[in-house]
Amino acid sequence: MSPDTIPPLITGCPDTIEIMIPVGMSSVNATWIEPTATDNSGITPTVTKSHQPGDSFPIGLTQVTYTFTDLAGNVATCEFSIVIGKTQYYLFCYDLVCSSFVDINVGVAINFSIGL
């Protein structure tokens, strides 16, 4: 019999999760549906994870990793990012024209004007 060289098969690895929080907050809890894995041996692989759903995340980018290992030592990894940004709103009015500025502190800024 040849040795098992097939890694576990992961399903449900989340995409990047982006959460915006109001000014004044420095972290927020993030939740997701956890990935699972199966193995060709029929035995459920063991899993180690860097974070759990419901953990608190600071402003910025955090990498989340799930590592699944089967009995033969074959490894499969699921990685995704949690991006936490804070939103600030500014409203400036001059001669009945108001401009709003939305500052999203993850590198994106949007400007638009509203005529009154």
Predicted confidence at residue 116, as pLDDT, reads 44
What confidence tier does 31 reach under pLDDT thresholds 50, 70, 90?
very high
Query: Collapsing DSSP states into helix, strand and coil, what is residue 102?
Result: strand
Q: Is residue 27 part of a domain?
A: yes
Q: Is residue 114 part of a domain?
A: no
Predicted confidence at residue 2, as pLDDT, reads 86
Q: Is residue 108 part of a domain?
A: no
Residue 62 has pLDDT above 60, yes or no: yes
Q: Is residue 109 part of a domain?
A: no
Residue 87 has pLDDT above 80, yes or no: no
Q: Is residue 3 part of a domain?
A: no
Residue 97 has pLDDT above 80, yes or no: no
Q: What is the DSSP string of 30-60?
A: ---PPPEEE-TTSSPPEEEES--TT-EEESE
Counted domains in the chain: 1
Q: Is residue 17 part of a domain?
A: yes
Domain span holding position 44: 9-86
Q: Is residue 100 part of a domain?
A: no
We report the CATH number of the domain holding residue 18 as 2.60.40
What's the pTM value of the predicted model, to 2 decimals?
0.75
Q: What is the pLDDT of residues 3-18, one digit of tens each?
A: 999 999 999 999 999 9
